[in-house]
Structure 1
Amino acid sequence: MSSEEKRAWIYLVVGAGVAAVYFAAILSKVPGADVAQIAYVRPMLIAIGAAIGLAIVAGIAVAIASPKEAGRVDERDRQIHRLGEYVGFYVMSVAAIVPLVLAMTEAAHFWIANTLYLAFVLAALASSTAKIVLYRRAW
């Protein structure tokens, strides 16, 4: 497994895990509550920071575990990265329609922010999944 494929796995696991914890914590407060009163900003910023930090630490750990592979990128890796990023871009482009519509209908900031965060998470997960599939099946 190349270092780039390992990185895709890291982003998939970290992105899904952190987002699941965040959404479980925040959405559990929604039933019977006024969403304008739910403090979501700090937990969202913590989730974003945790995802970035965990991905960096895991990437460093993988590089330490296999130093000969670390940083080696060939043409195949570049092609897979490019195609995976295209998939993420298209998912983000479609998923961003929801928060845009919510903003146009003047929905609560809670819903706009959380659907936008979800759009970013879905794009990252789709990109990582596409890369893994391409590594496993296409090349």
Structure 2
Amino acid sequence: AIAGEDCGLLIFEFSGGPIGMWDANRYNESNFADPRYTFGEFLVEGNGGAIRLYGDGRLTMQHLGEAEQDHHQYIHTRQGPGGDSVHATQRHFVERLLDGQPFETGGEEYLKTLTVQEACYLSAERRAPVGVSLLHQDRMR
């Protein structure tokens, strides 16, 4: 059996004042025909509006005071698991290795994600907020 968390509620305080909240639960599957297509729904809200990913793969944008509209540049397919995201990722990596162009995301970006993840676990362990910039200093003591 895999030991780990099934849900999380994270509150972020960003430099400059913005705050963010991430409420995730892997057991609350969507009501769409294929709940594993997007593995859930996602909503990002900001001062100017919102971006939504629905469980059927539809991506929309909604500016404040305006109607929600489909994001027409976003193309998704229903091939393979998760819209064939694994195939698309591997294809991207192989293409970049062959043509020498930069990857969409690199190791440095992924390390930032791991740093935030580690801060979340440390915060839960301490039952107190943890500053991401202090994370590595704390672990070294």
More helix by share: 1
Q: TM-score range by the shorter chain?
A: under 0.3
Larger Rg over CA atoms: 2
Q: Please give the TM-score of this superposition, normalised by the length of structure 2.
A: 0.27
Higher RCO (C-alpha under 8 Å, 6+ residues apart): 1
